[in-house]
A and B are shown apart, each in its own frame.
Chain A
């Protein structure tokens, strides 16, 4: 017997042994993996949330693989760091498709890095699971795009906030927005809703990214004496604005302040800003309030928090992680039900079925956004300084809108900050 013949004979022997002793699940893991490709902000301004989302996807991958994989194949994530830089994402996704030959795609985290990928997936007619991108498909209208975020359009997203303005008897609004896709989309949603909610804009300004000091802008807003201030900002800007709010103030006329400030969902910001947050009303996607107690959610959060310590990422994980885990859950349901990795077949499944996830039951509408949007607005109440644990309990981020998830009535900003 030659050397090669001996190796083959040993291999057959090992295979027979494995089958005989019930090693079939382990054998499935040796099959070619299902490769899921994505880019994620692991550095740059959005990396705080991006890395936490990646941890959630890794937890999902480990869960699936521990259960024997999908279609008997293990799941592998192929991930690149897009540095929160939209200019990099088209190249990364082309590489994922042409070099890494991934089977499925998840979009980058956020609107700005997702927008440049849309023409590519539309041109190649590919399934893309959106990952917190606002209105990224509004112009492209790709029929295989399914965005997992709890709002369907900018107007829907800001609707509850504008509703609160009406409830507080507001007539005038100031709009302050970063010069970037997500913030501009949100600000656009506010402008669209002005007439419907009986508001008049007395200040409407965009600011360039990387602005360091916002005291000049807050003074300009205060000079206009608005009833409501809507802010659409990114993490470092949000922190700077909240600090300037405490230092300079925004005037006694303001009954509602906040809206679309990214970063006020992150543990690092919550802990560092502490009591400066009191009274601010801002969007969120989950808070430990009883109305958002979906099956499996608290268990996931507990598992995530254990992993987050090792990974040195956001220790709370209330923002992106559950939704990224849910993307994995949805892909698993579609692949298992259709027994296919064909993008057309999977897209058809997503269009026609309700999907069960830890963030609740999800059905997609015609544009690939959630058919039943659920943007919640929380008001920070009784926040103490330097205490992260307080945010793990109910009552600190009181849900004030929409009514279906409400856990408290909104209190006017000028009353809480007096």
Chain B
């Protein structure tokens, strides 16, 4: 029974991991941008939800309303990154990494100066409550994370597969030159894609503060987890991101409920190593 509980809790936790990683799957997986500041944007999204939550707005609604602002922010960040780094030459990767590290610190310090260092939480009817399914009790906030992650994955998968701009984003990951020959501007496509990746941070950030308290430096703790999910998924795969998140979540949850709880993180990352050894392109990578 305990194992069933742990697996169900793990699936819910894994969906949360997928929600916070899906933007990185686009930015890093599809667009090849070393977006190490992704978790910092998640925290920014969480604070946005907190700020609107203080005015009485539901955090999930706040996250949804913030997505257009984050979309524009993402487009602006990519444009700067492109002009300052990507357009200038072959070592853009390493310098870009430094740029995004710097950006993450700027976001963190800006949050510290604005909100202080205390941990912040939000209130909502589904926080602190649970739902009973038979003999299993499930935290409602985790069910919300589950729902949002599944919805986000479906919407992004459909968008990337069936819309012109979505397919262009996928195409730019495969062959920039070919895309340019078709008459599309790869830079504008990447800028659009990065905007979408950043927009997911608003919603996923809202989930982050629904799940637990946030503080300005929290993003650092998510760097490992989000990159782990994105790489395990097979770079750029939306269903893969959901599957990878669930695998990590279930592994962590089962180990936490067993006798060797201390090994939870190690087991999760061990799975990544094993999968990469067997399938270097990741679970859903080609």
The verdict on A213 contacting B9 (CB below 8 Å), with A83-B217, A313-B118 known, is: yes
The chain B residue with its CB closest to the CB of A308 is: B116
Closest A-B pairs by Cβ, 3 of them? A272-B121, A312-B116, A47-B117
Residue of B12, B16, B139 touching A244 (CB-CB under 8 A): B139
Chain B 64-99 interface residues, beta-carbon cutoff 8 Å to A: none
From A43, A213, A246, A247, contact of B217 by CB (8 A): A43
Task: Among A206, A210, A213, point to the contact of B262 (Cβ < 8 A).
Answer: A206
Q: Does B23 contact A (CB under 8 A)?
A: no
Query: With a CB–CB cut-off of 8 A, which chain B residues contact A42?
Result: 117
Q: Which of A275-309 contact B (CB under 8 A)?
A: 276
- A247 and B140: CB pair below 8 A? yes
B253 engages A213 (CB within 8 Å): yes
Q: Which residues of chain B are near A385, meaning CB under 8 Å?
A: 123
Q: Judge whether A207 and B261 touch: CB under 8 Å.
A: yes
Given contacts A220-B256, A268-B213, list 12 more A-B pairs with CB under 8 A: A45-B215, A179-B262, A205-B262, A208-B263, A211-B252, A215-B139, A216-B256, A220-B2, A240-B212, A312-B116, A313-B118, A386-B123
Q: Which of A53-68 contact B (CB under 8 A)?
A: none
**Which residues from chain A contact B262 at a C-beta distance below 8 Å?**
179, 205-208
B115 and chain A: residue at smallest CB distance: A312
Q: How far is the CB of B111 from chain A (nearest CB, A)?
A: 10
Partner of B9, one of A207, A216, A268, A272: A216
Chain B residues near A263: list those with CB within 8 A: 119
CB contact list, B189-222 vs A, under 8 A: 211-213, 215-218, 221
A116–B112 CA distance with the chains assembled, in angstroms: 27
A225 within 8 A of B: no
Q: Is the CB of A313 within 8 A of B116?
A: yes
Whether the Cβ atoms of A239 and B121 lie closer than 8 Å is yes
**A189 at the B interface (CB under 8 A):** no
Q: Does B10 count as interface, using CB distance less than 8 angstroms?
A: yes
Which residues of B sit under 8 angstroms from A206, Cβ to Cβ?
Answer: 261-262
Q: Say if the beta carbon of B167 comes within 8 Å of chain A.
A: no
Q: Is the CB of A205 within 8 A of B117?
A: no
- B117 pairs with A248, CB closer than 8 A: no
The answer to whether B253 touches A216, judged by C-beta atoms less than 8 angstroms apart, is yes
Q: What 0/1 pattern do residues 195 to 238 of A give for CB contact below 8 A with B?
A: 00000000001111011111111011001000000000001100
Q: B105-131: which have CB < 8 Å to A?
A: 108, 112, 115-121, 123, 127-130
Q: Are B213 and A272 in contact (CB under 8 A)?
A: yes
A313's partner among B117, B121, B140 (CB-CB below 8 A) is: B117
The answer to the question of A269 belonging to the interface, with a C-beta cut-off of 8 Å to chain B, is yes
Write out the residue numbers on chain A whose beta carbons fall within 8 Å of the beta carbon of B216. 43
Inter-chain CA distance A314–B119, complex, in Å, is 10
B92 to chain A, nearest CB (A): 29
- Determine how close the nearest CB of chain A comes to the CB of B127; give it in whole angstroms: 7
Which of B12, B117, B119, B257 is within 8 Å of A239, CB to CB?
B119
- Whose C-beta in chain B lies nearest to the C-beta of A41? B117
Chain B residue contacts of A211, Cβ below 8 A? 252, 256, 264
Q: Is the CB of B128 within 8 A of A276?
A: yes
- Answer yes or no: A119 CB below 8 A from chain B CBs: no
A243 at the interface (CB under 8 A from B): yes
Q: With A43-B217, A212-B13 in contact, is A247–B139 under 8 Å at CB?
A: yes
Q: Any chain B CB within 8 A of the CB of A144?
A: no
Q: List 30 A-B contacts (CB under 8 A).
A: A45-B215, A45-B217, A47-B117, A47-B215, A206-B261, A207-B262, A208-B262, A210-B265, A211-B256, A212-B13, A213-B211, A214-B256, A216-B5, A219-B9, A223-B1, A236-B215, A236-B218, A239-B212, A239-B213, A240-B213, A243-B128, A243-B141, A247-B128, A247-B129, A247-B130, A248-B139, A268-B213, A272-B121, A276-B128, A313-B116
Residues in chain B near residue A394, CB distance under 8 A: none
Nearest CB in chain A: distance from B259 CB, A? 7
Contacts of A214 in B (CB 8 A): 256
